[in-house]
Structure formats: C-alpha cells, structure tokens
Amino acid sequence: MRLLFSMLAVSLLFGCASSPTDFGKAKQIKQSNILDSSYSVRFDDYSKITIKRDSGFTGSGCSSRIYVDGNKLADLDVSEFFSFYLPSGNHIISAHPNGLCGGGMFEVGVTVDKNESLNYRIGYGSSGDYFIVPTAF
C-alpha cells in the first residue's frame, strides 16, 4: 500500500507539465522578491528582458531564483513576471528552483542587441524537467 501511494504521489508530481502564462494574466513580481534592483534601471541602448514563470501545479510550491551572469537577480513565484535591462553583448540567464522542488539549475545563453525586447519563460516539462527558454507566449 505504501508503495502504491508513493507511486501515485510521484505520478501526480511529475505527470503534468506547467503551462505558459499569458502576459495579460501574469502578475508583476513582488518588490520583496527582487534581490538586485540595479538591473531594473533602463539606460540608453539597453534591452528589456522579461521572464515569466509558468502556471500550473508542478513546481508551484517553490519560487525560481533568476541569475544574470552569475548574479542573483530575483525570485519568481508561479504566474509572475519580472522585467530587467541588459547592455548589448553575450549574457547567461540562469534559473534554479528554490526549496524542495525538483530540477537543477538551467542556463541559457543570450545575445542581446541594442534596444530589443526578449521574452523567456520558466517552467516544468511533462517528465518533471525544469527549464528556461525563449517564448512567444
């Protein structure tokens, strides 16, 4: 019985993927979850980067820590978004689930051109894999 319950719990935890959050329904990050506000300042020729956290049950118990070039930036909760600014050039955006949620750090290389706008999402796939990827949603 214990084995059956354990298998059921695992299948519920990893059986469904998170879903992209529509920009119209996403909530602005709480100010208390911004760890480095220096990236919130827009300078001429900087580009806007927006990261949204997916909605859904999977991973909803943990926030996602966002890093830029190894610097702690913010903790995103489910269905939240955070916008920040980066200069032109190559950068690495990283995400790591806080707490007991599954998945390790995921990183994506980003090439930023002047005055562009880039959108990314953080979520979980159907097999429980954690990711940060570019998004059109």
Give the range of the structural domain holding residue 98, as residue numbers without chain letter: 2-134
pLDDT at 22: 65
pLDDT at 126: 78
Both tokens of 37, joined, read: 């506000």
The CATH code of the domain that includes 105 is: 2.60.40.1120
Taking a C-beta distance cutoff of 8 angstroms, is the pair 51, 81 a contact?
A: yes
Q: Which residue has the higher pLDDT, 7 or 110?
A: 110
Both tokens of 99, joined, read: 């707490």
Q: Which residue has the higher pLDDT, 111 or 21?
A: 111
Both tokens of 28, joined, read: 């602005």
pLDDT at 111: 97
Strand partners, 64: 76, 97
Sheet holding 64-68, edge to edge: 71-76, 64-68, 89-97, 106-112
Taking a C-beta distance cutoff of 8 angstroms, is the pair 51, 108 a contact?
A: no
User: DSSP code of 26?
Assistant: P
Task: Indicate the number of domains in the chain.
Answer: 1
Q: What is the pTM of this model?
A: 0.80
3-17, 49-63, 85-99: least confident range: 3-17
pLDDT at 99: 76
Instruction: Render pLDDT for 23-63 as a digit per residue (tens, 0 to 9).
Output: 677 899 999 999 999 999 999 999 999 999 888 655 556 88
